[in-house]
Amino acid sequence: MTDLKFMHKEDMVKEYGYKFNFNIKTFDFDGSDWETFLDKMRSITYVDSHDTGYMVQQEYVYILDCKNCGDKTCAEKAFFHNDETFCDDCCPDGYGE
């Protein structure tokens, strides 16, 4: 199993917010920004509420941009084709041929 890291809301947004284009300066930690952020985090890694914070799985690093849709992806899940990167939802035409 990969490592789980205990994090507070603020630390999670500071570390991962850029992946979803959130601005830490205007982020609403008690409203819809937080709910949207948490949903997006759970779509890319394991996140579980724990006492006063969250346990976040530290496995994949989503720093690559998909050429087709612009979403963030990681090297473990991405398609690399003709020197371009695609997320796992955007398999490029001609991949594997």
pLDDT in tens, 29-45: 999 999 999 998 888 78
Query: Do residues 86 and 71 both lie within one domain?
Result: yes
CB neighbours of residue 23 within 10 Å? 10
Tell me if residue 12 falls in helix, strand or coil.
helix
Residue that wins the pLDDT comparison between 3 and 56: 56
pLDDT for residue 59: 66
Query: Which domain does 64 fall in, by range?
Result: 60-97
Is the domain of 45 the same as that of 86?
no
In the 8-state DSSP scheme, what is residue 19? Answer: G
Number of structural domains found in the chain: 2
Tell me: do 51 and 64 sit in the same domain. no
Whole-structure pTM value = 0.59
Mean pLDDT over all residues of the chain?
A: 87
- DSSP designation for 17: G
**8 with 47, same domain?**
yes
